[in-house]
A = this chain, B = another copy of it.
Amino acid sequence: MANRPKPDAPPPRTRPGGRSARVRSSVLAAAVEELAAVGYASFSVEGVAERAGVHKTTVYRRWRNRENLLLEAMLERGREQVPIPDTGSLRSDLLAYGKAIAAGVRTPEVEAGVRAIASIGDPDSPLAKASHAFWDARLDLARRIVEQAIARGEIAPGVDARVVVEAIIAPIYFRLLLSGGKLDRRFLERLADFAAAAARSGSS
């Protein structure tokens, strides 16, 4: 009944080149700018459209609503990866990683994006799901730091790599989002000391 070879329902040929591509990238870039500039609460589609030099309806036609627009803008940004360091010791690997994470959240764009995601209450929201997938992948990659230490014989196998990595990452975001504590070098060094010490003592 469906999929006849005849010109019954001529598939609307999209045209992703030229103007469409320019509009798309400029809108997504503008969305990130807007988010960083005014915050999630005041984030408006009209503001994004103006910033992108594009009409409001154009944005609405391509991204049905605010959330979809933000989702795609952040997925675009979320591709940037934090490199996994390999400096020769667990402690300095963790420190380097922590510094990279902290440097990230210090940029207004990343900070605003993190806050936006943290404010999503519905766990079934596409944005929330994207965040969970993002962190699953990132934490999985960071496990390599612990695996390198095991391979060097620096720590015993069986250590829960995820807990070690979260021990570096989580306090950074906790201070950013809630406690307002400083993210200075001294703090990051203590974090690295702490996590490395726990890993060495083999808390599986």
Name A's B-contacting residues (CB within 8 A): 39-41, 111-112, 114-123, 128, 131-132, 135-136, 139, 160, 163-164, 166-167, 169-171, 173-175, 177-181, 190-191, 193-198, 200-204
Contacts A132-B179, A180-B123 known; A174 to B163 CB distance under 8 Å? Answer: no
Asked if residues B119 and A119 are in contact (CB atoms below 8 Å), the reply is: yes
- Cα distance, A119 to B139, chains bound together (Å): 23
Beyond A40-B119, A163-B194, list 13 extra A-B contacts (CB 8 Å): A39-B121, A41-B119, A118-B178, A128-B180, A136-B179, A163-B191, A166-B179, A167-B167, A167-B171, A194-B198, A194-B203, A197-B202, A201-B201
Asked if residues A118 and B121 are in contact (CB atoms below 8 Å), the reply is: no
Asked if residues B139 and A179 are in contact (CB atoms below 8 Å), the reply is: yes
Give the 7 A-B residue pairs with the shortest CB-CB distance, closest first.
A119-B119, A170-B174, A132-B180, A198-B198, A135-B179, A197-B203, A170-B170
Determine the chain B residues whose CB is within 8 A of the CB of A190 once the complex forms.
160, 163, 203
Determine the chain B residues whose CB is within 8 A of the CB of A122 once the complex forms.
39
- Chain B: CB-nearest residue to A111: B121
Determine the chain B residues whose CB is within 8 A of the CB of A115 once the complex forms.
118-121
Asked if residues B180 and A177 are in contact (CB atoms below 8 Å), the reply is: no
Asked if residues A169 and B174 are in contact (CB atoms below 8 Å), the reply is: yes
20 of the cross-chain contacts (CB-CB < 8 Å) are: A39-B121, A114-B178, A117-B177, A118-B178, A128-B180, A135-B179, A160-B190, A163-B171, A163-B191, A163-B194, A166-B171, A166-B179, A167-B167, A167-B171, A167-B194, A194-B198, A197-B201, A197-B202, A198-B198, A198-B203
Contact partner of A201 (CB less than 8 A), chosen from B120, B139, B171, B200, is B200
